[in-house]
Copies of this chain bind each other. A is one copy, B any other.
Amino acid sequence: MNMSQYRFSSRFHLLASVFVTIFTVCICSVANAANPLASWNEGPARKAIVEFVAAVTDQNSKDYVAPAERIAVFDNDGTLWVEYPMYTQFLFAFDRVKKLAPQHPEWKTKQPFKAVLEGDMKTVGASGMKGLMEIMMATHSGMTAAEFEQDASNWLAMTKQSRFKRQYTELVYQPQLELLAYLRANGFKTYIVSGGGIQFMRPMSEETYGIPRDQVVGSSVVSEFQVKDGKPALVRMPKIDFVNDKAGKPVGIYEHIGRRPILAFGNSDSDMQMIEYTMAGEGRRMGLFVHHTDADREYAYDRKSHVGTLDKALDQADANGWFIVDMKQDWKAVFSEK
Protein backbone atom coordinates (compact mmCIF):
# COMPACT_ATOMS: atom_id res chain seq x y z
CA MET A 1 0.00 0.00 0.00
CA ASN A 2 1.53 3.33 -0.99
CA MET A 3 1.22 6.47 1.03
CA SER A 4 -1.81 7.87 -0.73
CA GLN A 5 -3.59 4.54 -0.50
CA TYR A 6 -2.78 4.48 3.19
CA ARG A 7 -4.13 7.95 3.66
CA PHE A 8 -7.29 7.02 1.81
CA SER A 9 -7.71 3.86 3.79
CA SER A 10 -7.05 5.64 7.04
CA ARG A 11 -9.54 8.34 6.18
CA PHE A 12 -12.06 5.77 5.11
CA HIS A 13 -11.76 3.99 8.42
CA LEU A 14 -12.11 7.24 10.28
CA LEU A 15 -15.21 8.14 8.27
CA ALA A 16 -16.62 4.66 8.67
CA SER A 17 -16.15 4.73 12.41
CA VAL A 18 -17.75 8.18 12.58
CA PHE A 19 -20.75 6.86 10.67
CA VAL A 20 -20.99 3.79 12.83
CA THR A 21 -20.84 5.96 15.93
CA ILE A 22 -23.53 8.31 14.65
CA PHE A 23 -25.68 5.38 13.60
CA THR A 24 -25.28 3.68 16.97
CA VAL A 25 -26.05 6.87 18.85
CA CYS A 26 -29.19 7.30 16.73
CA ILE A 27 -30.31 3.73 17.36
CA CYS A 28 -29.83 4.13 21.08
CA SER A 29 -31.63 7.46 21.12
CA VAL A 30 -34.54 5.97 19.24
CA ALA A 31 -34.60 2.98 21.57
CA ASN A 32 -34.55 5.23 24.63
CA ALA A 33 -37.15 7.52 23.15
CA ALA A 34 -39.37 4.56 22.34
CA ASN A 35 -38.96 3.03 25.77
CA PRO A 36 -37.62 5.49 28.30
CA LEU A 37 -38.75 3.19 31.14
CA ALA A 38 -37.08 0.07 29.74
CA SER A 39 -36.44 -1.44 33.19
CA TRP A 40 -40.08 -1.17 34.19
CA ASN A 41 -42.27 -4.14 33.36
CA GLU A 42 -45.56 -3.51 31.63
CA GLY A 43 -48.02 -3.36 34.49
CA PRO A 44 -50.24 -1.05 36.51
CA ALA A 45 -47.41 1.04 38.03
CA ARG A 46 -45.67 1.77 34.74
CA LYS A 47 -48.99 2.42 33.03
CA ALA A 48 -50.09 4.84 35.75
CA ILE A 49 -46.80 6.76 35.58
CA VAL A 50 -46.96 7.13 31.80
CA GLU A 51 -50.60 8.21 31.93
CA PHE A 52 -49.90 10.71 34.69
CA VAL A 53 -47.00 12.29 32.83
CA ALA A 54 -49.00 12.41 29.59
CA ALA A 55 -51.93 14.10 31.36
CA VAL A 56 -49.95 16.81 33.15
CA THR A 57 -47.83 17.67 30.09
CA ASP A 58 -50.62 17.77 27.50
CA GLN A 59 -51.70 21.38 27.08
CA ASN A 60 -55.13 20.23 25.99
CA SER A 61 -55.63 18.07 29.05
CA LYS A 62 -57.75 19.27 31.96
CA ASP A 63 -54.89 18.01 34.14
CA TYR A 64 -52.22 20.14 32.44
CA VAL A 65 -49.56 21.52 34.80
CA ALA A 66 -47.20 24.35 33.80
CA PRO A 67 -43.52 23.28 33.74
CA ALA A 68 -42.57 25.44 36.76
CA GLU A 69 -45.07 23.49 38.88
CA ARG A 70 -43.87 20.05 37.75
CA ILE A 71 -42.05 19.21 40.97
CA ALA A 72 -41.20 15.56 41.66
CA VAL A 73 -39.68 14.50 45.00
CA PHE A 74 -37.95 11.23 45.82
CA ASP A 75 -36.89 9.76 49.11
CA ASN A 76 -33.34 8.38 48.85
CA ASP A 77 -32.71 5.36 51.16
CA GLY A 78 -34.71 2.42 49.85
CA THR A 79 -36.33 4.52 47.14
CA LEU A 80 -33.35 5.43 44.97
CA TRP A 81 -30.60 3.26 46.46
CA VAL A 82 -30.21 0.23 48.76
CA GLU A 83 -30.93 0.82 52.48
CA TYR A 84 -30.76 -2.79 53.67
CA PRO A 85 -29.32 -4.18 55.95
CA MET A 86 -28.45 -0.69 57.26
CA TYR A 87 -28.77 2.94 56.12
CA THR A 88 -25.58 3.85 54.26
CA GLN A 89 -24.98 6.95 56.33
CA PHE A 90 -25.04 4.99 59.60
CA LEU A 91 -22.36 2.67 58.16
CA PHE A 92 -20.35 5.76 57.27
CA ALA A 93 -20.78 7.00 60.85
CA PHE A 94 -19.71 3.65 62.33
CA ASP A 95 -16.59 3.62 60.16
CA ARG A 96 -15.83 7.17 61.26
CA VAL A 97 -16.10 6.12 64.92
CA LYS A 98 -13.39 3.52 64.22
CA LYS A 99 -11.28 6.08 62.36
CA LEU A 100 -11.62 8.71 65.10
CA ALA A 101 -11.21 6.25 68.00
CA PRO A 102 -7.49 6.96 68.59
CA GLN A 103 -8.44 10.59 69.41
CA HIS A 104 -11.18 9.37 71.78
CA PRO A 105 -9.74 6.82 74.21
CA GLU A 106 -12.88 7.25 76.33
CA TRP A 107 -14.92 5.48 73.60
CA LYS A 108 -13.34 2.17 74.62
CA THR A 109 -15.60 2.12 77.65
CA LYS A 110 -18.41 4.48 76.64
CA GLN A 111 -21.58 3.21 74.95
CA PRO A 112 -22.71 3.20 72.25
CA PHE A 113 -19.19 3.90 70.93
CA LYS A 114 -17.76 0.82 72.64
CA ALA A 115 -20.30 -1.37 70.84
CA VAL A 116 -19.49 0.22 67.47
CA LEU A 117 -15.76 -0.42 68.01
CA GLU A 118 -16.50 -4.04 68.94
CA GLY A 119 -18.85 -4.52 65.98
CA ASP A 120 -21.67 -5.31 68.41
CA MET A 121 -24.54 -4.03 66.28
CA LYS A 122 -27.17 -5.45 68.63
CA THR A 123 -26.05 -3.13 71.42
CA VAL A 124 -25.76 -0.22 68.99
CA GLY A 125 -29.35 -0.87 67.93
CA ALA A 126 -30.46 -1.16 71.55
CA SER A 127 -29.05 2.32 72.24
CA GLY A 128 -32.00 3.59 70.17
CA MET A 129 -32.40 6.96 68.52
CA LYS A 130 -30.54 8.65 71.39
CA GLY A 131 -27.50 6.46 70.90
CA LEU A 132 -27.55 6.79 67.14
CA MET A 133 -27.81 10.58 67.42
CA GLU A 134 -24.77 10.59 69.74
CA ILE A 135 -22.86 8.66 67.11
CA MET A 136 -24.05 10.95 64.33
CA MET A 137 -23.10 14.09 66.25
CA ALA A 138 -19.66 12.75 67.15
CA THR A 139 -18.91 11.83 63.55
CA HIS A 140 -20.68 14.54 61.56
CA SER A 141 -19.50 17.66 63.39
CA GLY A 142 -16.32 19.34 64.51
CA MET A 143 -14.94 19.80 61.00
CA THR A 144 -15.37 22.30 58.20
CA ALA A 145 -17.91 21.82 55.43
CA ALA A 146 -15.09 21.09 52.98
CA GLU A 147 -13.48 18.50 55.27
CA PHE A 148 -16.79 16.71 55.80
CA GLU A 149 -17.49 16.62 52.07
CA GLN A 150 -14.06 15.15 51.40
CA ASP A 151 -14.52 12.47 54.08
CA ALA A 152 -17.96 11.48 52.81
CA SER A 153 -16.82 11.34 49.19
CA ASN A 154 -13.73 9.29 50.04
CA TRP A 155 -15.78 6.85 52.07
CA LEU A 156 -18.34 6.35 49.28
CA ALA A 157 -15.53 5.79 46.79
CA MET A 158 -13.71 3.27 49.03
CA THR A 159 -16.56 1.26 50.55
CA LYS A 160 -18.48 -1.66 49.11
CA GLN A 161 -21.87 -2.94 50.19
CA SER A 162 -21.71 -6.18 52.19
CA ARG A 163 -23.79 -8.44 49.94
CA PHE A 164 -23.38 -7.04 46.44
CA LYS A 165 -19.72 -6.04 46.74
CA ARG A 166 -20.34 -2.85 44.82
CA GLN A 167 -20.08 0.80 45.78
CA TYR A 168 -23.28 2.30 47.19
CA THR A 169 -23.48 4.71 44.27
CA GLU A 170 -23.65 1.66 42.00
CA LEU A 171 -26.49 0.18 44.04
CA VAL A 172 -29.02 2.68 42.80
CA TYR A 173 -32.18 1.39 41.19
CA GLN A 174 -32.01 1.41 37.41
CA PRO A 175 -35.82 1.82 37.00
CA GLN A 176 -35.65 4.93 39.19
CA LEU A 177 -32.76 6.41 37.19
CA GLU A 178 -34.91 5.95 34.11
CA LEU A 179 -37.92 7.47 35.84
CA LEU A 180 -35.90 10.52 36.96
CA ALA A 181 -34.63 11.03 33.40
CA TYR A 182 -38.12 10.49 31.97
CA LEU A 183 -39.64 13.07 34.30
CA ARG A 184 -36.91 15.60 33.47
CA ALA A 185 -37.39 14.96 29.74
CA ASN A 186 -41.02 15.90 30.38
CA GLY A 187 -40.20 19.21 32.03
CA PHE A 188 -40.18 18.05 35.66
CA LYS A 189 -37.66 19.30 38.18
CA THR A 190 -36.52 16.32 40.27
CA TYR A 191 -35.53 16.57 43.95
CA ILE A 192 -34.29 14.27 46.67
CA VAL A 193 -36.21 14.68 49.95
CA SER A 194 -34.54 12.32 52.41
CA GLY A 195 -34.04 11.76 56.11
CA GLY A 196 -30.36 11.37 55.26
CA GLY A 197 -27.85 14.16 55.77
CA ILE A 198 -28.20 16.90 53.18
CA GLN A 199 -24.42 17.37 52.97
CA PHE A 200 -23.76 13.62 52.90
CA MET A 201 -25.90 13.18 49.78
CA ARG A 202 -24.95 16.28 47.83
CA PRO A 203 -21.47 15.27 46.67
CA MET A 204 -22.91 12.17 44.97
CA SER A 205 -26.36 13.35 43.85
CA GLU A 206 -25.39 15.08 40.62
CA GLU A 207 -23.24 12.34 39.17
CA THR A 208 -25.38 9.47 40.45
CA TYR A 209 -28.90 10.78 39.88
CA GLY A 210 -28.48 13.86 37.70
CA ILE A 211 -29.89 15.87 40.61
CA PRO A 212 -27.95 19.07 41.35
CA ARG A 213 -26.84 19.84 44.89
CA ASP A 214 -29.42 22.55 45.47
CA GLN A 215 -32.19 20.07 44.63
CA VAL A 216 -31.24 17.85 47.57
CA VAL A 217 -33.25 18.28 50.78
CA GLY A 218 -32.16 16.42 53.91
CA SER A 219 -31.40 16.50 57.61
CA SER A 220 -28.74 18.86 58.88
CA VAL A 221 -26.58 19.87 61.82
CA VAL A 222 -26.18 23.50 62.83
CA SER A 223 -23.32 25.16 60.95
CA GLU A 224 -21.43 28.27 61.94
CA PHE A 225 -19.51 30.75 59.88
CA GLN A 226 -16.12 31.17 61.51
CA VAL A 227 -12.87 32.82 60.50
CA LYS A 228 -10.09 30.37 61.33
CA ASP A 229 -6.48 31.48 60.86
CA GLY A 230 -7.75 34.37 58.77
CA LYS A 231 -9.65 31.99 56.50
CA PRO A 232 -13.46 32.05 56.51
CA ALA A 233 -15.03 28.61 56.75
CA LEU A 234 -18.25 26.87 57.69
CA VAL A 235 -17.84 24.68 60.75
CA ARG A 236 -20.27 21.87 61.53
CA MET A 237 -21.50 21.93 65.14
CA PRO A 238 -22.59 18.98 67.34
CA LYS A 239 -26.23 20.07 67.31
CA ILE A 240 -29.20 18.94 65.24
CA ASP A 241 -30.54 21.70 63.02
CA PHE A 242 -33.36 19.91 61.24
CA VAL A 243 -34.64 16.35 60.93
CA ASN A 244 -36.04 15.95 57.44
CA ASP A 245 -38.12 12.88 58.17
CA LYS A 246 -41.81 12.06 58.60
CA ALA A 247 -43.65 15.36 59.30
CA GLY A 248 -40.32 17.11 58.67
CA LYS A 249 -40.40 16.25 54.98
CA PRO A 250 -43.22 18.61 53.97
CA VAL A 251 -41.46 21.31 56.01
CA GLY A 252 -38.17 20.62 54.20
CA ILE A 253 -40.04 20.88 50.90
CA TYR A 254 -41.55 24.21 51.94
CA GLU A 255 -38.20 25.66 53.01
CA HIS A 256 -36.06 24.38 50.14
CA ILE A 257 -38.39 24.04 47.17
CA GLY A 258 -41.14 26.49 48.02
CA ARG A 259 -43.69 24.62 45.91
CA ARG A 260 -45.93 21.66 46.61
CA PRO A 261 -44.81 18.66 44.52
CA ILE A 262 -47.20 16.95 42.10
CA LEU A 263 -45.40 13.60 42.34
CA ALA A 264 -43.80 12.03 45.41
CA PHE A 265 -42.06 8.67 45.63
CA GLY A 266 -41.04 6.99 48.89
CA ASN A 267 -40.72 3.52 50.33
CA SER A 268 -41.63 3.64 54.00
CA ASP A 269 -44.07 5.00 56.54
CA SER A 270 -41.61 7.89 57.04
CA ASP A 271 -42.62 9.10 53.58
CA MET A 272 -46.34 9.18 54.30
CA GLN A 273 -46.53 12.84 55.29
CA MET A 274 -44.58 13.92 52.21
CA ILE A 275 -46.96 11.96 50.03
CA GLU A 276 -50.06 13.17 51.91
CA TYR A 277 -48.87 16.76 51.45
CA THR A 278 -48.25 16.15 47.75
CA MET A 279 -51.64 14.51 47.17
CA ALA A 280 -53.54 17.23 49.05
CA GLY A 281 -52.83 19.88 46.42
CA GLU A 282 -55.29 20.78 43.71
CA GLY A 283 -55.25 19.09 40.31
CA ARG A 284 -53.82 15.75 39.38
CA ARG A 285 -51.24 14.25 41.76
CA MET A 286 -49.34 11.01 42.15
CA GLY A 287 -47.92 9.26 45.21
CA LEU A 288 -45.89 6.04 45.06
CA PHE A 289 -44.06 3.67 47.39
CA VAL A 290 -41.40 1.09 46.50
CA HIS A 291 -42.32 -2.21 48.13
CA HIS A 292 -39.19 -4.32 48.69
CA THR A 293 -40.46 -7.76 47.67
CA ASP A 294 -37.42 -9.21 45.95
CA ALA A 295 -35.11 -11.21 48.21
CA ASP A 296 -33.32 -12.68 45.18
CA ARG A 297 -32.35 -9.52 43.37
CA GLU A 298 -32.40 -7.10 46.34
CA TYR A 299 -34.19 -7.60 49.69
CA ALA A 300 -37.67 -8.42 50.93
CA TYR A 301 -38.91 -6.45 53.93
CA ASP A 302 -41.85 -4.30 54.95
CA ARG A 303 -44.00 -4.29 58.09
CA LYS A 304 -41.51 -5.42 60.70
CA SER A 305 -38.24 -4.13 59.34
CA HIS A 306 -35.54 -2.24 61.25
CA VAL A 307 -35.05 -0.03 58.18
CA GLY A 308 -37.64 1.42 55.84
CA THR A 309 -40.69 0.06 57.65
CA LEU A 310 -43.64 -0.07 55.28
CA ASP A 311 -46.69 -0.84 57.35
CA LYS A 312 -49.35 1.84 57.76
CA ALA A 313 -48.72 3.02 54.23
CA LEU A 314 -49.47 -0.47 52.89
CA ASP A 315 -52.78 -0.48 54.74
CA GLN A 316 -53.78 3.01 53.66
CA ALA A 317 -52.54 2.94 50.05
CA ASP A 318 -55.75 1.88 48.35
CA ALA A 319 -57.96 4.28 50.24
CA ASN A 320 -55.62 7.16 49.45
CA GLY A 321 -54.92 6.34 45.82
CA TRP A 322 -51.22 5.68 46.44
CA PHE A 323 -49.38 3.27 44.15
CA ILE A 324 -47.43 0.39 45.65
CA VAL A 325 -44.62 -0.48 43.27
CA ASP A 326 -43.79 -4.16 43.70
CA MET A 327 -40.07 -4.51 43.08
CA LYS A 328 -40.34 -8.14 42.01
CA GLN A 329 -43.31 -7.63 39.70
CA ASP A 330 -42.78 -4.12 38.41
CA TRP A 331 -39.03 -3.89 37.88
CA LYS A 332 -37.43 -5.80 34.99
CA ALA A 333 -34.01 -4.92 36.35
CA VAL A 334 -33.11 -3.66 39.83
CA PHE A 335 -29.53 -2.39 39.39
CA SER A 336 -27.69 -1.35 36.28
CA GLU A 337 -25.55 -4.09 34.76
CA LYS A 338 -22.77 -1.52 34.75
| A231 CA / B259 CA spacing, docked (Å) | 17
Interface mask (A234-251 → B, CB under 8 Å = 1, otherwise 0)? 100000010000011111
Q: Are A220 and B259 in contact, with the CB atoms below 8 A?
A: no
Contact of A276 with B232 at beta-carbon distance under 8 Å, contacts A202-B258, A220-B255, A247-B225 already known: yes
Q: Could you list 10 A-B pairs, sorted by A, with CB under 8 Å?
A: A213-B258, A214-B214, A214-B215, A214-B257, A220-B255, A223-B254, A225-B273, A225-B277, A234-B250, A256-B256
Q: Are B199 and A231 in contact, with the CB atoms below 8 A?
A: no
Max count, chain B CB within 10 A of own CB: residue among A68, A232, A241, A277? A232
In the complex, which residues of chain B have a beta carbon less than 8 angstroms from the beta carbon of A224? 247, 251
Q: Smallest distance from the beta carbon of A321 to chain B beta carbons, Å?
A: 14
In the complex, which residues of chain B have a beta carbon less than 8 angstroms from the beta carbon of A290? none
What is the size category of the interface that chain A forms with chain B?
35 or more
In the complex, the 10 A-B pairs of residues with the closest C-beta atoms, listed nearest first: A213-B258, A225-B247, A225-B250, A232-B280, A202-B258, A232-B276, A232-B277, A223-B251, A234-B254, A214-B257
Q: Smallest distance from the beta carbon of A227 to chain B beta carbons, Å?
A: 8
A interface vs B, CB < 8 Å?
68, 145, 189, 198-199, 202, 206, 212-216, 220, 223-225, 227, 231-234, 241, 247-251, 254-259, 273, 276-277, 280
Q: Are A216 and B247 in contact, with the CB atoms below 8 A?
A: no
Partner of A216, one of B202, B213, B258: B258
Q: Are B199 and A258 in contact, with the CB atoms below 8 A?
A: yes
Q: Are A256 and B225 in contact, with the CB atoms below 8 A?
A: no
Nearest-neighbor residue (CB-CB) of A205 within chain B: B258
In the complex, which residues of chain B have a beta carbon less than 8 angstroms from the beta carbon of A250? 225, 232, 234
Q: A223-B251, A225-B247, A234-B254 are in contact. List 19 more A-B contacts (CB 8 A).
A: A68-B206, A68-B212, A189-B214, A198-B258, A199-B254, A199-B258, A213-B257, A213-B259, A214-B257, A220-B255, A223-B254, A223-B255, A224-B251, A225-B249, A227-B276, A232-B277, A232-B280, A233-B280, A241-B255
Q: Are B280 and A251 in contact, with the CB atoms below 8 A?
A: no
| A323 CA / B224 CA spacing, docked (Å) | 26
Q: Are A145 and B254 in contact, with the CB atoms below 8 A?
A: yes
In the complex, which residues of chain B have a beta carbon less than 8 angstroms from the beta carbon of A199? 254, 258
Max count, chain B CB within 10 A of own CB: residue among A216, A227, A234, A259? A234
